[in-house]
């Protein structure tokens, strides 16, 4: 079942003034722009590696939780997950020093204790959570909605 997933980047120019294009094999991102301004400033005309990482982590966690519910004989009406990834100065460079995950779900027939148990297990078992274990702080909040 193991399969490589592919993405590519094309970059032209220097670090601060250059521009890049990110693409994924599925076409979800096709020559999508990114650069210094969309990564380190507040330019919304492009993406950045940190928001893509956050989207991937939120997607992985959400799917892991859906599978955990299924394994418990439950199905969510809805699951909404947000991720915030912080890029912080680290000496002469930068590092990701924090990821905040928030999952909210409507799950008929579950109590909060079971919900929290399944949500925490999904967070710990998600492949991206495992891959990102070196991030110093990964916070997680799960909220059962009615």
Model's pTM, two decimal places? 0.93
- CA-angle at 132, arms to 94 and 129, nearest 5°: 145
Q: Is pLDDT of 1 > 80?
A: no
Average pLDDT value for residue range 117-132: 97
Q: Is pLDDT of 124 > 80?
A: yes
Average pLDDT value for residue range 4-19: 96
91-129 burial by CB neighbour count: b if 16+ within 10 A, else e? eeeeebeebebbbebebeebeeeebeebbeebbeebebb
Q: Is pLDDT of 142 > 80?
A: yes
| Burial (Cβ within 10 Å: 0-12, 13-18, ≥19) of residue 87 | middle
The 10s digit of each residue's pLDDT in 46-97 is 999 999 999 999 999 999 999 999 999 999 999 999 999 999 999 999 999 9
For residue 106, name the pLDDT band (cuts at 50, 70, 90).
Answer: very high
Residue bearing tokens 């650069």? 35
Q: What is the mean pLDDT of the chain?
A: 96
- CA-angle at 85, arms to 133 and 35, nearest 5°: 120
Count of CB atoms within 10 A of residue 28's CB?
A: 10
Domains for the chain: give ranges and CATH numbers. 7-40 (no CATH), 49-145 (3.30.300.20)
Could you tell me how many helices (H) and strands (E) the chain has, helices first? 4, 6
Average pLDDT value for residue range 23-36: 95
pLDDT for 110 equals 98
Asked if 37 and 18 count as a contact pair (C-beta separation under 8 A), the reply is no
């Amino acid at each position: 079942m193991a399969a490589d997933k592919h993405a590519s980047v094309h970059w032209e120019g220097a670090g601060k003034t250059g521009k890049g294009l990110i693409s994924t094999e599925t076409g979800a991102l096709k020559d999508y722009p990114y650069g210094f301004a969309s990564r380190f400033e507040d330019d919304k005309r492009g993406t950045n590696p940190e928001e893509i990482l956050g989207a991937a982590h939120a997607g992985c966690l959400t799917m892991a939780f859906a599978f955990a519910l299924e394994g418990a004989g439950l199905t969510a009406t809805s699951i909404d997950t947000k991720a915030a990834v912080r890029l912080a100065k680290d000496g002469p460079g930068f590092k990701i020093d924090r990821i905040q995950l928030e999952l909210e779900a409507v799950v008929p027939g579950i109590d909060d204790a079971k919900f929290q148990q399944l949500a925490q297990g999904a967070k710990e078992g998600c492949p991206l959570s495992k891959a990102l274990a070196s991030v110093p702080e990964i916070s997680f909040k799960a909220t059962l909605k009615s």
